[in-house]
Amino acid sequence: MIPQLPLALRWPRRQRFEHFHAGTNAAALAAVEALARQPGAPWVYLGGPTGSGKSHLLIAACHAASALGRTVQYLPLTSQVDRAAALRGVAGSELLALDGLQAIAGDRDAEHALFDLYNRTRAEGGALLFAAEAGVAQLALGLPDLRSRLGACTRFTLKPLDDADRREVLKSQAVLRGIQLDDAVLDWLFSRYARDLGALLDLLDKLDQASLAAQRRITVPFLRDFLRDAAEP
């Protein structure tokens, strides 16, 4: 069974549709929004590398569907020890979002559990939303019927935002917090820090708190000191 968390922890505020910066992924965003809000909408399969926004969209879909009174569940398969048991333990929700689908590839029991869950959800009139680091054809699935079922979904390959888009997102999020990030800070940050948008936004949250506590602007020296101190044991 999936442990139930308080709503605010299950669906983090930042991971909402309105905070998803679509870039070239606008069609995928529209399809996932439709699945979350419209019973009977086509099921969706999202492929894409780490940092492309897959988990963001799955959690946003769960939040939006829950806000409309629909029953929802989110299952991150990569964090499950017994993935077959986890898949057998979810059922009955109007929307079920399965993240990290690549984790079950080659796991015979888990693949069969997902195949059964797919068929059961279809028969009960529910909806499934999938995400994986690769497209259906690239997953090393051993069960041909499961590959066929997943291939019948509406499929998208998400592309990460480029550096220019990430910079604009950081600037806009900083403005919302009353922070000014000048180009020198962004240049330094992008040359030395992970460029995954989620990691950058997490860092922005921490910098906001640190700058308020220190009563200092976020400058290159401040950023350098902050990252050095954070790296120390």
Note whether residue 114 is domain-resident: yes
Strand runs labelled E in 15-103: 44-47, 72-76, 95-99
Give the pLDDT band (50/70/90) at residue 130. very high
- If you average pLDDT over residues 109-126, what whole number do you get? 96
Domain shared by 55 and 110, yes or no:
yes
Report in angstroms the alpha-carbon separations of 115 from 48, 108, 166.
22, 11, 37
N-term to C-term CA, the chain? 36
Give the pLDDT band (50/70/90) at residue 155. very high
Reading the block at residue 87, the tokens are 């898949």
Domain shared by 134 and 208, yes or no:
no
Mark which of 107, 129, 157 sits at the end of a domain.
157
Q: β-strand 127-132 against 154-157: which pairing, if any?
A: unpaired
Domain encompassing residue 89: 7-157
Each residue's pLDDT tens digit, 205-216: 889 999 989 888
Each residue's pLDDT tens digit, 189-231: 888 876 677 778 888 888 999 998 988 899 999 998 888 887 7
Domain shared by 137 and 94, yes or no:
yes
Note whether residue 1 is domain-resident: no
Query: For position 76, what pLDDT does the model report?
Result: 94
d(CA 96, CA 77): 12
Domain shared by 43 and 83, yes or no:
yes
Domain shared by 125 and 24, yes or no:
yes
Question: Is the whole model's pTM more than 0.75, yes or no?
Answer: yes
d(CA 191, CA 202): 17
Domain shared by 49 and 83, yes or no:
yes
What percentage of the chain carries pLDDT values higher than 70? Answer: 93
d(CA 124, CA 181): 50
Mark which of 94, 127, 157 sits at the end of a domain.
157
| Cβ partners under 8 Å of residue 7, min gap 6 | 66
Q: Which 8-state DSSP code applies to residue 153?
A: S
Note whether residue 181 is domain-resident: yes
Query: For position 10, what pLDDT does the model report?
Result: 56
d(CA 56, CA 54): 5
* In the predicted structure, residue 3 carries a pLDDT above the cut 70: no
**Residue pair 46/130 in contact by the 8 Å Cβ criterion:** yes
**How many structural domains does the chain have?**
2
Residue holding tokens 């996932």?
32
DSSP calls for 10-24: HS-TTSSGGG---GG
**Residue pair 94/58 in contact by the 8 Å Cβ criterion:** no
Mapped onto helix, strand or coil, the DSSP state of residue 131 is strand
CATH of the domain at 24: 3.40.50.300
